[in-house]
Amino acid sequence: MGSRNLKDLHPELVKRWKEAVEIFAEMFPDLPRPFLTQTFRSPQEQNELYAQGRAKPGKVVTNAKGGRSLHNYTPALAFDIAFKDAGGKVSWDIALFRKFAGIAKKSGLAWGGDWQSFKDYPHFQPPNYTWQSASNGIPPQFS
């Protein structure tokens, strides 16, 4: 199973994640809290996810094969989230993702919910950055 650990996430993404979480809590104190569901995942784990909805049962959750996701790099160059209420119930409500994304984008992150071909609402990464850049050793640039 992939990681949810901040230690596996690029330090600049950690900084921006923490900032966005703090602002979200201030702005929406009564809403469920964002939490990390994924930082790093291996290329093998990525291939397992890619097979879902294709060679395996379930809903398609990614268009990225192993090595073609920013989660597959060390440190991870992307993170995924969900939300949890005070009772521990997990939510995947798109309205919550939209609220968090508004904050995260102001913190200098790109949101998978803005993608045209595949909406990945839980996904956040450096702006204008691709797996090709990561595979070529080009570091992300943050504003």
Domains and CATH numbers, the chain: 6-135 (3.30.1380.10)
pLDDT digits (tens, 9 = 90+) for 22-40: 999 999 999 999 999 999 9
Residue 9 DSSP code? B
**Tokens representing residue 29 in the block:** 């104190």
Give the global pTM.
Answer: 0.95
pLDDT tens digits, residue range 81-135? 999 999 999 999 999 999 999 999 999 999 999 999 899 999 999 999 999 999 9
